Structure 1
Amino acid sequence: MAHWSRIIVSYFRHYRLYKLELSESLNGELFYKKTIERRLNLETLQEIISEMVKEGTAEWDPPNKKTSAIIHWRKPEEWATLIYNWVFDNGMTNSILTLYEITHGELTEGLDQSVLLKALDVIVKRGQAQVFQGTSADDMGVKFFGVN
């Protein structure tokens, strides 16, 4: 299981992917080797992801179903540090940024919104930002404070 976990995390990091749809992925290159006609079955993949959840490199999304998962090739705490440092280094503290602006930086290009929200939660708990709720996630804003 640990070997599969490393392979999945490495694959997702390499391709900058975040969400694994279990049923769909069984036909993809990660879990299906066409040359030998061999594929991982759904139950085994669910067991692998369950182990990854225990070790903190994945989480079920939604939590009550085992149909898809977020793969953490960087944990929310790591994303929080990277995002805050990017804001600080680029002189954007004490200003409000939208989620769009945050996920379209070089470092965070394409960052999954659920991963971003978890990272922002960490930043808020550290006292480094405040989140302003909008009518939807797209309308949210984040004010980063100038304390590093």
Structure 2
Amino acid sequence: MTDLFNFPSIHNFPPFYTLQTQPTTRQTQIALWSEIILAYFMHHKLYRLELSESLNGELFDNKGIKRRLKLGTLQCIIDAMVKQGTAEWDLQSKKNVALIYWRKPEEWATIINNWVFNSGMTNSILTVYEIAHGDITEGLDFHGLDQTILLKSLDILVKRGLAQLFQGTSTEDMGVKFFGTNG
């Protein structure tokens, strides 16, 4: 991965790993965990959280203090993030996989549309693959964007009348035509 993530000091506080029973304390704990998850995912440009698998990683398993988040606690945190609009459960995963929105699809849609307009790509047709992984987007914020989030963002542009999708042989082959407006 990229450079190390600087965890806030609360990440080294043992009670932080146990879901608190007092409602106000629990609400603060969940809000802090949400902030850490969003910051960590943004830092590493991650989009998909596999809960069971991630419980052994540095984000939820602090080996320095020998504390690890439990699956049920993490699901509770993600449920709160879903209510805030900063996460979405993968419906096929039975609350084991979530999309993490450190930028919401609406924000990605605006960023992509601005890039299209500013780079003179209006009235061009690009594939979903080219947008997420092509040389033309290398170094841009949305390069490597999760395909599900990208498609949600493109759907927003379609609804705004700024793009049109064309079926391909696969999702990555789908074409996207962008129209000549900045908005």
Q: Same fold (TM over 0.5)?
A: yes
Distance 2:147 2:171 in 1: 8
The amino acid that maps onto 1:143 is K
Question: What SS is found at the alignment partner of 1:70?
Answer: strand
**Residues 1:23 and 2:52 aligned together:** yes
**Residues 1:53 and 2:87 aligned together:** no
Structure having greater relative contact order (Cα 8 Å, sep ≥ 6):
1
* TM-score, with length taken from structure 1: 0.97
Question: Contact 2:129/2:173 (CA < 8 Å) preserved in 1?
Answer: no
Q: Which residue of 1 aligns with 2:128?
A: 99
Distance 1:27 1:70 in 2: 19
> How much does 1:102 deviate?
0.7
Task: After superposition, give the CA deviation of every residue in 1:92-117 in whole Å (9 maximum; x if it has no partner).
Answer: 11010011211131222211000000
2:166 to 109, 117, 132: 132
Structure 2: state its 5+ residue gaps.
Answer: 1-29
Q: Which residue of 1 aligns with 2:143?
A: 109
Q: Which residue of 2 aligns with 1:44?
A: 73
1:123 to 147, 152, 157: 157
> How much does 1:63 deviate?
5.7
Structure 1: state its 5+ residue gaps.
Answer: none
Structure number with greater Rg is: 2
Percent identity, please: 69
* TM-score, with length taken from structure 2: 0.79
Aligned structure 1 segments of 4 or more residues deviating by more than 6 angstroms: none
Question: What SS is found at the alignment partner of 1:8?
Answer: helix
**Residues 1:77 and 2:120 aligned together:** no
Q: Which residue of 2 aligns with 1:65?
A: 94
Report the CA distance shift for 1:97/1:12 in structure 2 as closer, same or farther (over 3 A).
same
**Paired residue total:** 148
Question: Contact 2:47/2:101 (CA < 8 Å) preserved in 1?
Answer: yes
RMSD: 1.0
